[in-house]
Amino acid sequence: MKSGCENKKSTKKRSVELPILNKTGKDRTEIRASTTSRWRAAALIGVNLLIVLHIIQWLVMGRTLSPIEPSESMYTLQQGVLNAGFIFFALAILATLIFGRYVCGWGCHIIALQDLCAWILKKIGLTPRPFRSRILVFVPLAVALYMFVWPTVNRYMLKPAGEPLIPQFTNHLITTEFWSTFPPIAVAIPFLFVCGFMTVYFLGSKGFCTYACPYGGFFSLADKVAPGRIRVTDACNQCGHCTATCTSNVLVHAEVAKYGMVVDSGCMKCMDCVSVCPNDALYFGFGKPAAAVAKSVKKTASLSWPEEIAAALVFGSAFMAVWDVYQLVPMLMALGIATVTTFVVMRSYKLLTTGDLTFYRYTLRSGGRLKNAGIAFLGFAALWTGLNAHSGWVRYHERAGALAFQSLQIPDELALARSNPDPWLSASDRENIAVGKQHFTKAVSTGLFTNVDAMPKLAWFEYLSGDPEKAADHLAKAADRQTGQGRALSLYYRGAILNRLGRFEEAIASLDKALAERPDLAAAREEKGESMWQLGRRQEAVTEWGDAVQNNPRLVLANSFLSGAAASMGRQDLAADYRSRADQSVPADARFHFMLGLRLQKAGMNDLAKENFQRAIKLDPSIQTRWVLSGGDR
């Protein structure tokens, strides 16, 4: 079998002869159609229909069984969240340990997509050919270890003494948040296109399974010890129909001749080879596992060893460039993109350095001259790798900005105590703000999409560097594109900043939207109460702070405001009561008391403000000097 794109004049002998390809005219025997392929297609259509029904049932009823998706197992292993995905994955691995990769061949929605793509390509006369890399074939296992084993190892190394290695399980079999761990639909569609279609077109019928799927990494290992295998009888005459039919790139006729069974762990038990064998020589049966014999029959590699190393470097760079870029590209999609980039780069190199080259039925280069198809291929390669490189540029700035953000030391409450947090910034904060702002500005201004994770962080850097107006604008833009918790937080911070700017009506509007997303966001109620108090809507402010402390009785800020409000209304007993509640949770931190003093002072609650300033100075006398040096409240 040839690789997808091969030197026309290559005189290289095949690693394994495929008899059927050598027969012509009268001698050539037709391969009979597989009857099991129809059953498998029906099973895979059934799997996809069940997935659709599952989603519809959730949309209609609001709660359903958690996603039956192996990636959900990560949450079980990391957080003890027992879900349907973990149970399915555990049972699937168990089944594979006995029967081999039937779950892959007959129960995976991604293989259904890959098969559909291969079928469409064949209908238009293009037969996908396998790309064979000896290094990249280990990617699925490496990713599987990273996803499913590394978190446990990490916890073992970091866990405090006495904490159990296995987290305590909690029942999450039923969920209302069915889609929460999946990418948005706008990402899911290109995800399926890249992983289901592009990988097949460029890397072969099982391109995604071979080079990207982490579950396949475990299934492939489990298959090696499975006693259930495709086996052969003495009736085999080495006609090669089985190998010609196999879409999993298995050299069936050679393996059964050498070992009496298929040992290649890429075999997904589709049963096509069994169905097409003219001598009915193949069957599924139990016996010695593949691990008991030597490695599978050697296949012709698509790359030399130096090329393999170059391909691994391209793959690694392409993967790191796109993984989580714009906080949009999930890991599996990044793996799919990286495999396509690797193929495209390596083939472009070959196209530029070889005399003759074809791709499917197209001649890319002949007699050392580039053909139109070759120019088109290079054009696509330039566009694709250019996009990949651009993503890498954006991702680099996103990562560097996020690193600077993580290193900030100033607490949010202190920064939000006044519209200019400058006096509280340490030297390292100032440096991180400058660096982070620069990186995020580049990422946001050159990015093709709005990064809803970078935008609020850039807004925070703008606020800390003294531009609250710009910060509020960025947060509004971020909130427009966010959902759930992220949107609630952006709207809350925007409301808080607008409050510091004295734009109280706008602050209330923003905080109301935050509370619509997250009614339990107490900090938003504290801020909203403050806006109302400033607007003279005092009774509404008291109600808002009252709502905040109802669910969180020890909230320091809301209790302090309630204490100040009660004092201003002459209710000293109530004021003392709220103050003692605030005191129960107030940290012995000078900066916190100073922040509290500033907020109360702004609200005209001067006695309480003074008390907090005095406490702050008692805890840290230098705080007064810093305040005076900064020019007081500007």
Binding site for ligand SF4 (CB under 6 A): 104, 108, 110-111, 208-209, 213, 215-216, 219, 230, 232, 236-242, 245-246, 248, 250, 252-253, 256, 262, 267-273, 277, 279, 281-282
| Residue 339: CB minimum distance to ligand SF4, A | 12
**Among all residues, whose Cβ is closest to ligand SF4?**
216
Select 22 or 154, whichever has its Cβ closest to ligand SF4.
22
Rounded to whole angstroms, what are the CA distances from 73 to 84, 91, 172, 525? 8, 12, 11, 37
Select 1 or 232, whichever has its Cβ closest to ligand SF4.
232
Cα distance between residue 163 and residue 244, in whole Å: 55
Select 68 or 232, whichever has its Cβ closest to ligand SF4.
232
Structure tokens at 183: 């990418």
Select 4 or 266, whichever has its Cβ closest to ligand SF4.
266
| Residue 233: CB minimum distance to ligand SF4, A | 9
Select 71 or 391, whichever has its Cβ closest to ligand SF4.
71
Residues 6+ apart with CB under 8 A from 528: 495, 507, 508, 511, 512, 515, 544
| Residue 323: CB minimum distance to ligand SF4, A | 18
Select 206 or 350, whichever has its Cβ closest to ligand SF4.
206
Cα distance between residue 465 and residue 442, in whole Å: 17
Cα distance between residue 590 and residue 533, in whole Å: 26
Select 16 or 262, whichever has its Cβ closest to ligand SF4.
262
| Residue 454: CB minimum distance to ligand SF4, A | 31
| Residue 199: CB minimum distance to ligand SF4, A | 10
| Residue 269: CB minimum distance to ligand SF4, A | 5
| Residue 383: CB minimum distance to ligand SF4, A | 27
| Residue 522: CB minimum distance to ligand SF4, A | 44
Select 218 or 323, whichever has its Cβ closest to ligand SF4.
218
Cα distance between residue 20 and residue 278, in whole Å: 12
Structure tokens at 193: 């296109």
* Amino acid in position 593: H
Select 281 or 334, whichever has its Cβ closest to ligand SF4.
281
Cα distance between residue 288 and residue 229, in whole Å: 9
| Residue 351: CB minimum distance to ligand SF4, A | 29
Select 88 or 545, whichever has its Cβ closest to ligand SF4.
88
Select 69 or 398, whichever has its Cβ closest to ligand SF4.
69
What is the greatest pairwise CA distance in the chain?
A: 109
Q: Which of 208, 302, 25, 245 is nearest to 127 (CA)?
A: 245
> Which residues on adjacent β-strands are paired with residue 247?
none
The CA-based angle 487-493-498, given to 5 degrees, is: 125
Select 295 or 634, whichever has its Cβ closest to ligand SF4.
295
Rounded to whole angstroms, what are the CA distances from 60 to 53, 69, 339, 506? 10, 21, 38, 36
| Residue 465: CB minimum distance to ligand SF4, A | 47
Cα distance between residue 203 and residue 343, in whole Å: 7
Owner of token pair 């209330």: 508
Cα distance between residue 366 and residue 539, in whole Å: 84
CB atoms within 10 A of CB 72: 23
Cα distance between residue 495 and residue 511, in whole Å: 5
Cα distance between residue 131 and residue 481, in whole Å: 39
| Residue 190: CB minimum distance to ligand SF4, A | 17
Is 86 in contact with 167 (CB distance < 8 Å)?
no
| Residue 131: CB minimum distance to ligand SF4, A | 16
| Residue 187: CB minimum distance to ligand SF4, A | 18
Which 3-state string (H, E, C) describes 561-611? HHHHHHHHCCCHHHHHHHHHHHHHHCCCCHHHHHHHHHHHHHCCCHHHHHH
Residues 6+ apart with CB under 8 A from 219: 92, 93, 96, 101, 103, 104
Select 95 or 252, whichever has its Cβ closest to ligand SF4.
252
